[in-house]
Structure 1
Amino acid sequence: MRGLRYAPFSFAVVNIGLMGLITLNYVALTEGIMALVTGFSWLRNFKLLQFHGLPALLVLFIINFLGIFLLLIIQTTIGHFNAPLGIIIPFSLCILTIYTTWEYNPLNSLMLLRVNKNNILLLLATTLLMLIVYLITDRYSEPNY
């Protein structure tokens, strides 16, 4: 790293880009399989918020992307300091999301029955905040080799 003069910030940006690409591929694959298995028959009746059909599928795609990307950022940020906790905490957040009805949980939008406009904005804000936290912690912490 030091001999080639790569800045730690550039590695963090590349990591974020790769996490985004992995998340994008995962969400596209899972929603594509979901659409193929149902033969697009459910798409006409699918409603999410005020959207129907294909726009609702796009909103679902965005929600799933943000939620999975948030979990990956949390895992990476915490895993930078303690690898076991980096795995345990995102799983715990997913389990807590299922069993609690706390309205300010940013992961509530990952459950179709709890989707609303405020939760989507909270999910977006939390993801952006965690991106900033990840960039700061990656910049000012010592790497574990």
Structure 2
Amino acid sequence: MLVDHFSRSGWVAEFDAGTGAIGGHREASAGERTSGRYEVLGDTPVVLYREAGHLVLRIGVHRVEFEKARIRHRIGERHCSLLVNEVTVRYPIPDELYDLADDLTPFVEAEHFDFGLFLAEIARDTDRAARILQ
């Protein structure tokens, strides 16, 4: 399936939901439809997609049903942590978060720059989770 890159607008990759493999990173062609979003957090590929109508989160080799997952996000002094059930992914704080207070873009939020935070925010809002990637 084709998935959108979270932080690199206009880029897509091929994702194999069975193996969790991501490859074939490239610029999107006009009119291409995607089935999910992905980011590499630290060294770990993380993909959010729909399968048979349900949200699924792939974190490296771990496949998690999104609606049943306990998802938390933390920002430390030097790293962010995405905690999903028993899996923890640590990754550098996105550079954009340091300059967020100076960003004059209307309605800009920290979750626009941090995929881990984005996932945690969706997990807290069941209506939003039901609408995403439809």
Q: TM-score, structure 2 length as denominator?
A: 0.21
Q: TM-score, structure 1 length as denominator?
A: 0.20
Structure showing the higher helix proportion among its residues = 1
Structure showing the higher strand proportion among its residues = 2
The structure whose RCO (Cα within 8 Å, separation 6+) is larger is 1
